[in-house]
Amino acid sequence: MSKVSPSGSPHAPLAIVSRGDATESVHYGSVAVVDAEGRLLFSAGDPEFLTTTRSALKPLQALPFVAGGGVERFGFSTPQVALLCASHSGEPRHVEAVSDMLDRIGCVPGQLLCGVHPPLYYAANDELPPAGAKFSTLHHNCSGKHSGMLATARVFGQSLGAALVAVVFAMLGVAAVTHDPTHIDTIRNAMPLALWMATAVAAVGAMVSALRLRPQVDESSPR
């Protein structure tokens, strides 16, 4: 079998769907396996092909929370951990699970910062949302992952920093990028500002910690 797709792209055939003796479809792609140092061990197609992880990265984003003992600390159930690792369709059970996670970590839906859209299960069932139905960030297909990020911040004490970064991006209107790609310069401006603010907050925190380490004067001792 050819290592190059018919279109001339560098991808290799990774999966073949057959129906009886007939080949129904061939799925092409590229795979790279590297070690901890980034050295290429195995590959198929073009290991250097630039791509995006999108939601496939969600399980990796959940690793710090799980490894840090967050599941046990907040009592997340197995289905809730699954919501941290994948997109969901906004079904009532998904909304309830995300809402419960937020309650457990002491956060509210408004902190998810993931926007609002109609639940995906309507489109999957070829249905329209009920007239007058109102949805929240809880229905967003990424609300589980965003809950996991907030929970991770809780575990590692980074909630204030995360909130400051969110405020900076909101102040500079980065949300507009989703509607107008020409606003990409806004992101370039927001990132350094967020980093400088984080540096300033860290510096203030260091000074406060240093002041606490000053030798305490015993007022009862003679001078």
Task: Quote the percentage of the chain above a pLDDT of 70.
Answer: 75
Do residues 142 and 114 lie in contact, with contact meaning Cβ atoms separated by under 8 Å? Answer: yes
> pTM value?
0.60
pLDDT at 3 over 60: no
User: What's the confidence (pLDDT) of residue 153?
Assistant: 83
Instruction: Give phi and psi for 86, each to the nearest 5.
Output: -155, 165
Select, from the ranges 117-121, 174-178, 185-189, the one with the highest average predicted confidence (pLDDT): 117-121
User: What's the confidence (pLDDT) of residue 19?
Assistant: 93
The better pLDDT of the pair 167, 48 is held by 48
pLDDT at 17 over 50: yes
Q: How confident is the model at residue 144 (pLDDT cuts 50, 70, 90)?
A: very high
Q: How confident is the model at residue 142 (pLDDT cuts 50, 70, 90)?
A: very high
CA-atom Rg of the chain in angstroms: 24
Distance from C-alpha of 37 to C-alpha of 11, rounded to nearest angstrom: 24
Q: How confident is the model at residue 4 (pLDDT cuts 50, 70, 90)?
A: very low
What average pLDDT score do residues 146-168 get? 74
Distance from C-alpha of 45 to C-alpha of 105, rounded to nearest angstrom: 43
SS3 content of the chain, % helix, strand, coil (to 5): 50, 10, 35
Q: How confident is the model at residue 215 (pLDDT cuts 50, 70, 90)?
A: low
pLDDT at 130 over 50: yes
User: What's the confidence (pLDDT) of residue 221?
Assistant: 56
Distance from C-alpha of 212 to C-alpha of 80, rounded to nearest angstrom: 40
What average pLDDT score do residues 127-144 get? 92
pLDDT at 8 over 60: yes
Contacts of 162 (CB under 8 A, 6+ apart): 149, 150, 153
Distance from C-alpha of 26 to C-alpha of 14, rounded to nearest angstrom: 8
Contacts of 147 (CB under 8 A, 6+ apart): 83, 84, 98, 101, 102, 105, 107, 112
Q: What is residue 139's DSSP assignment?
A: G
Among candidate residues 187, 181, 106, 100, the one with its CA nearest the CA of residue 144 = 100
pLDDT at 217 over 60: no
Q: What is the mean pLDDT of the chain?
A: 81
User: What's the confidence (pLDDT) of residue 21?
Assistant: 92
